Amino acid sequence: MKKITLAFLLSLGSASLAAAAEQNAQDIVHWTPTTWAEAQRDMPKGNAAAGEKLHSTLFCASCHGAKGESTTNNWPSLTGQSVAYTYKQLLDYKNHVRNEDDRSHLMVVVAQMLSKQDMADLAAFYADQPKPCPNGLPKPAPSLVTVGDPKRLITPCAACHGANGQGGVNETTALRGMPRDYFIRTMNMFREGHRNNDTFKGMSQFAKPLTDQEIAMLADYYACTEQSSLAPQAKR
């Protein structure tokens, strides 16, 4: 916990609580493929046990679930995400690259307290947990997932997020078992440009042409509420 104490002491004190989450748009540095590749090379080796301790002492569980498996419709599951994904999101919060609404505002403040080692530890812990939705996604998959829509230049979701929604080889989100409301909120945020931490608009360009109905349908598909042991209230 020494690192965290240090981060606390170095932070700007009481008036910075609100200010910590606000930064001028021109000061925010977005990723390029080169800088992101460098950041990954620079990532310390994560220690899952240290990550579990941070998960508890930083109260992550109060929103994301006892081990990071969200049991509500509102908050994302962290289990099953790749190390690269979690590490990048935490870096993005810390650097104000991701700050799309009040909820992420809270994460921006939390991330200020984390060192790169802390972030790698947390990422290792969540990647170690059992994946949500163990029986897999519903069948058949919607055509948007498997073939996309060439007319609107929409690449199939599975191309980046995996045929089983398990996430990509790199920092792409694992979507399998993602709570429905969070999925819809996130897609709307990408569509409207409030969330823009996707390198080279890798997500937002495909979110923009989607209709509300399509987003809701994809949310249902990836939430896989029928098979999952997630929140029973999410059953529809």
Contact residues for other proteins, defined by CB under 8 A:
1, 4-5, 7-9, 11, 13-18, 57-59, 62, 102, 105-106, 109-110, 113
Nearest distance from C-beta of residue 56 to other proteins, angstroms: 10
Q: What is the DSSP string of 69-97?
A: ---SSSS---TT--HHHHHHHHHHHHTTS
Nearest distance from C-beta of residue 21 to other proteins, angstroms: 9
Nearer to other proteins, 103 or 201 (CB): 103
Nearer to other proteins, 21 or 97 (CB): 21
Nearest distance from C-beta of residue 201 to other proteins, angstroms: 29
Show the tokens assigned to 104: 């992420």
Show the tokens assigned to 186: 């996130």
Nearest distance from C-beta of residue 89 to other proteins, angstroms: 18
Nearer to other proteins, 26 or 62 (CB): 62
Nearer to other proteins, 139 or 236 (CB): 236
Residues linked to residue 154 through DSSP beta bridges, in sequence order: 149
Prior bond to 140 cis, omega within 30?
yes
Give the helix/strand (H/E) hosting 57: helix 48-57
Show the tokens assigned to 38: 């460098």
